[in-house]
Each structure stands twice: as C-alpha cells, then as structure tokens.
Structure 1
Amino acid sequence: MPRSAPRPPKPTAAELDLLRVIWKQGASTAREVHQALQAERPDVQPATVLRLLQVMHGKGLVVRDESQRSHVYAAAHARDALQTNLLDELIQKVFAGSGKALVLAALDGHVSDGERDEIRRLLEESETPATGKGGKRHA
C-alpha cells in the first residue's frame, strides 16, 4: 500500500498571517515579512516576526536559506496543500465530516452575491457527462 505524503503541520493564526505574506511575495527576509505585515497589523514588532519565523522553521512550515547575512524564508508547503489540510480538519471537527454542512454554513451570510454567482458558474462548468441536469449523478 503506497504511503501518502506527510500532512503539513498546523499553523497558528499568527503563523498563517506570515505564510500569507510569504505566499504573496515569495521568499523573504524577516524584515520584508515585517514590512508587508505592518499594513494589516501595525502593532507587530520585528523581533516577534523573526521569532515566529524561527518557530515556523522548526515546525517545518518554512524553509530557511542561511547563505546570506539576512536569512531568507520561503513556504515549505504550497498554499493549496496547507489549505486542504486545514479544511479537512475543520470539516471533521466542526461539521462532523460533512462537506455539505460546511458549504451551507459558508453560503449563509459569508458569501457576497458576486461570489455566489461565481460559485454557480464554477459548479455548472464542473458538471461532467456522467452528471445529468440539476447536478445529480446517475447510478
């Protein structure tokens, strides 16, 4: 039986903030991450960002290039892989394993009209020949 790839570690909310910056701008020094993060969190201190990046490196959330004086940090996992891992955990813990319950909760007040229209379009595009009208699969 083939082994599946190890699941990415679970980041804290603060670690996710730093990962979002790194995913957006690519490999960055602690100073660059701090500067980008200041726009949304002006109270965050440079030393806090550096310490978090060091912890994240230890957890395997980021990789560190130590070849330059200022270490450069990059995400160790693709955004999609980490999001999928966190979403799987959320569905299991909060929605008793039901993806449908998650989607219904998300649609109830968390989705704009424009996003709802885009979701409809994506669902229509994803229908396959094995799918009949109304999106129900035939047995």
Structure 2
Amino acid sequence: MSSYDEPSPQELHALAILWNQGPSTVGFVHEIMNSDGGDRTYTTALAVMRNLEKKGLAIRNTQGRAHVYEAKVDRGSILRPRLLNLVQNSFGGSLGQAILSLISVGVMTPEEKIAVTRVIKQHKAMAAKKKTTKKKAAKKAAKKPVATKKKVAKKKVAKKAAAKKVAKKPAKKKVAKKAAKKKVAKKPAKKKVAKKAAKKKVAKKPAKKKVA
C-alpha cells in the first residue's frame, strides 16, 4: 500500500515535469503544461502544485519570493502499478505487445533507443540465467534419488555387518565356555593322578622297612 494519495491526470502531468526538469517554479510548470497548445491558467497550475504538496507527492521550498516545487516520490513508484495494470488489462499480460504499441505511438530519440536496447539486453541475460538455474536444479533433483539409493544400500551393508558381529560374539562366548569346562574337567584328572602317585609312595615305604 502507498503512503500517499494517487495523483489525478493533471497532477501526474505536473509530476512528470518535475521528474524531467527537476525543481521548478509554478510559472515554469504552467508554461510547460501549456506547451501542447493548452490554455490552462496560472491559477490552475498553482492549485495542481498545492494538491501535489498536500498528497505528499511534492515538497515546496522558498527561494526569495518564488516557491519552488520538487518531486518527493520517484517515477517508478508512481508509474509501475499503472503500467502493470495497462499491460495486464490492455495487452493480456504481453509485455512485448505493450512495448511495440508504445513505440508505434511516437518517435524515440537516439539516447532513448540506446537505453531501450540496453534494457532488452539485460532482460535477455536475466532470462538466460533463469534457464541455466532451472537446468542445474533439474540435474540436482535427478541426482538426489541415485544418491539416496546408494545411502540406503550402504546402510543395509552396515546393518548386515553389525548383525554378523553380534552373531559372532555368542559363538566366541560358547568357545570360551567350552575351554573353561575343559580346564575344569582336567583339574580333577590331575588331582586323581597326584593322589595315585601319593598312594604308591606310601605303599613303597613299608617295604623298605622290612628289608632293613
């Protein structure tokens, strides 16, 4: 939403003079307004400039006894909404058709032709960048599913490896338990052998005494 009231056709004409000529007196604006053969009075021009000031579209400065008016808003902020409506409603949204129609209405100066050519080149460059950006985005979008599949495959491999490790651990525990049981089983056997050896020694001792 704009912070000022919309200008009337006469006020827009006066604003255009301020945009093109810079700060101007009421007398100068009156003269330019009638350069097209009109018969507007000085009082009319003064009323228009005062209305622009009231609407916040122009500011008034005093230079001696003269009142000098200066545009307070830029051309784009006023004309852009109007031009968009014109293109949309009169040309079905076709900017090219609108430009061709405007060119056919009058004659451009060499400077204006250069400016228009520059703007057209800028639009072409912007359009080319947009196409390149869209292509890159499409390529990235196409690569993403492949990358996702690879990640899923890697996760599956990692899960299988983890499952194998978990399966190996109980097997190792079982082997360790068996080894522990064997050790326990061997200990009683060693004790039995030791007992037998002790008994033999005891049995041999009385035999030696008899010989003596």
TM-score relative to the length of structure 1: 0.69
Structure-2 separation of matches of 1:85 and 1:9: 13
2:52 maps to a residue whose letter is M
- Aligned pair partner of 1:95 in 88, 91, 108: 88
1:111-126 paired onto structure 2 within 5 Å: 111-112=103-104, 118=117, 120-126=120-126
Segments of 5+ residues of structure 2 without an aligned counterpart are 138-212
Are 1:106 and 2:98 an aligned pair? yes
Compute the displacement of 1:104 (Å).
5.6
Superimposed CA distance per residue, residues 94-128 of structure 1 (whole angstroms, 9 cap, x where no aligned partner): 837xx96152651564444x97x947544323335
Q: Judging by fraction of residues, say which structure has more helix.
A: 2
Alignment size in residue pairs: 125
Superposition pairs of residues 37-52 of structure 1, within 5 angstroms: 37-52=33-48
TM-score under structure 2 normalisation?
A: 0.48
Q: How large is the Cα RMSD of the aligned pairs?
A: 3.2
Is 2:127 aligned against 1:127? yes
Higher relative CO (Cα under 8 Å, sequence separation at least 6) belongs to: 1
Q: Is the 8 A contact 1:9 1:59 kept in 2?
A: yes
| Partner Cα distance (1:46, 1:53) in 2 | 11
CA distance in 1, matches of 2:37, 2:75: 21
Separation of aligned partners in 2, 1:85 and 1:129: 26
Larger radius of gyration: 2
